[in-house]
Amino acid sequence: MSDTERKDTPEQAEFRQYCRDWIAANAPAETSVRLPLSPLEIMTTEQLDYLQDWQKRAYDAGLVGCDYPVEVGGGGRNDCQRVANAEFITAKTPFFPNVIGLGMAAPTVFYHAQEEKKQALLPRLFSGEDIWCQGFSEPGSGSDLASVQTFAEPKGDKWLINGHKVWTSLAHFAEWMIILLRTSKDHKYDGLSYFVVPIRSALGKGVTVRPLIKMTGETGFNEVIFENLEVDDSYRLDEVGKGWQVAMTTLAHERGAGQLITPQAGGRVQRKEGEEESEQGAASLIALAKSSQRGGKTAADDPVIRDRIMKEIIREEGFRQSRRRSRVQGLIDDPMRIPLQHKLRQSEIAQDTAQLATEIEGAASSLYIADPNAPAAGRWPMAHMNSYGFTIAAGTSEVQRNILGERVLHLPKSK
């Protein structure tokens, strides 16, 4: 089931070998730095430095941004990023820290910015020297993104920005923000414009970054307040009033449905070999049940618990097999039908799995991460709470069901 089964072009075949060799020689060794579970959860500068160094080296070697033109700092290759990604993943390297930059900002800037700005911004984005964040959601604009109210008022050849963005991961480390702003109150969609904004240099001078605390007690997200921040008009992407269309480029790439492949490197975190996939997965419920007691017997011997664990394992296997099937021409009708289910399904399976885990733990699920006696180090009650981040963020489950009903089943729009 490896990507190598696909037929490489000569360029890809050569590049694959180059990547393999380079990674073998240059992949970061094990580190004492405790790596986070995802790039969005980078908490310390120690973590950031380690991961930035890795991205820079991979970029300098030509493994990041390889399909972008040379003029903007890319590698000028044809459809080679997926080759590099596959090799990173096979080698289980750590991930790149500039995840929003690579996945969302780069394609958006590439398709919508002035040539001069592309050349100025993209090389340091690819290298990871500049971390990027995203300013879309606001307190009053969650599911309904087009209702954003953070306002950009024209002032000579500059814009004056005032407002409030929330859920901006990595903002405390970010140099740049891609941001959706309102430039007219008269039109909902056509009143939006899209900018890139230097935020690190403006901290304390019109930009305030504050951590948002999640219900778990963790930080990681931020809110960003803009008070009369002046931004040059050259930071605007595409025309005034075309912000919604630009945002669609960003969102398409966020969902993996855009034209450009996002550079992705592995996902090694500080764990033992082979544990990655299942550590929070349904299969790990079996071990949990074997070490948990319910009503005087081992939870793994309770048929009701067994039944429920099997349900989650089956859903998880079904999810995995559906991803596999989504690439088999003969077994799909609508090519978007499975990919558009991805987010909904993954987030709800994770939620139900975590919820079931707390029931398996029983009374011990009351114990949280700081308790030395908590089963699985308190991971499950935390995962349960964090699962709501996934069913809410980036399109709630309710919005996902609308999208599926409308785009795949072609039912009339609900809104």
Interaction site with a copy of itself (CB under 8 A): 302-304, 307
Which range binds another protein by CB under 8 A, 21-29, 195-203, 270-278, 309-317? 309-317
Site residues for another protein, 110-139, by CB under 8 A, read 137, 139
Tokens of 67: 């399909």
Tokens of 407: 């785009």
The residue (of 24 and 314) whose beta carbon lies closer to another protein is 314
Three-class secondary structure of residue 22 per DSSP: helix
Residue 257 found at the interface with another protein (CB under 8 A): no
C-alpha 67/C-alpha 88 separation (Å) is 16
Residue 186 found at the interface with another protein (CB under 8 A): no
Nearest residue to 152 (alpha-carbon basis) of 241, 83, 77:
241
CB 372 within 8 A of CB 284: no
C-alpha 263/C-alpha 101 separation (Å) is 10
Phi, psi of 64 (to 5 degrees): -120, 130
Q: How far is the CB of 410 from a copy of itself (least distance, A)?
A: 20
Counting residues that bind another protein (by CB under 8 A) gives 102
Residue 319 found at the interface with another protein (CB under 8 A): yes
The residue (of 38 and 228) whose beta carbon lies closer to another protein is 38
Among 44, 78, 143, 228, binds another protein (CB under 8 A): 143
Q: How far is the CB of 205 from a copy of itself (least distance, A)?
A: 43
C-alpha 375/C-alpha 361 separation (Å) is 7
C-alpha 163/C-alpha 150 separation (Å) is 4
Among 179, 374, 376, 383, binds another protein (CB under 8 A): 374
Three-class secondary structure of residue 203 per DSSP: strand
C-alpha 353/C-alpha 359 separation (Å) is 10
Q: How far is the CB of 301 from a copy of itself (least distance, A)?
A: 10
> Residue 293 CA to chain centroid, in angstroms?
37
Q: How far is the CB of 145 from another protein (least distance, A)?
A: 9
How many residues in the chain? 415
| Close Cβ partners of 398 (under 8 Å, ≥ 6 residues apart) | 143
Helix or strand run (H / E) with residue 86:
helix 81-90
Q: How far is the CB of 356 from a copy of itself (least distance, A)?
A: 14
Q: How far is the CB of 404 from a copy of itself (least distance, A)?
A: 19
Residue 147 found at the interface with another protein (CB under 8 A): yes
Look-up: residue for tokens 């991930």?
95
The residue (of 156 and 303) whose beta carbon lies closer to a copy of itself is 303
Q: How far is the CB of 303 from a copy of itself (least distance, A)?
A: 4
Residue 248 found at the interface with another protein (CB under 8 A): no
Q: Which residues does residue 226 pair with via DSSP β-bridges, in sequence order?
A: 163, 207
The residue (of 3 and 276) whose beta carbon lies closer to another protein is 3
Which range binds another protein by CB under 8 A, 169-177, 236-244, 256-264, 379-387? 379-387
Site residues for another protein, 196-235, by CB under 8 A, read 212-218
Tokens of 386: 């964090």
The residue (of 198 and 381) whose beta carbon lies closer to another protein is 381
The residue (of 52 and 400) whose beta carbon lies closer to another protein is 400
CA dihedral 266, 270, 276, 281 (to 10 degrees): -130
Tokens of 157: 């050849």
The residue (of 213 and 304) whose beta carbon lies closer to a copy of itself is 304
The residue (of 157 and 307) whose beta carbon lies closer to a copy of itself is 307
Residue 321 found at the interface with another protein (CB under 8 A): yes
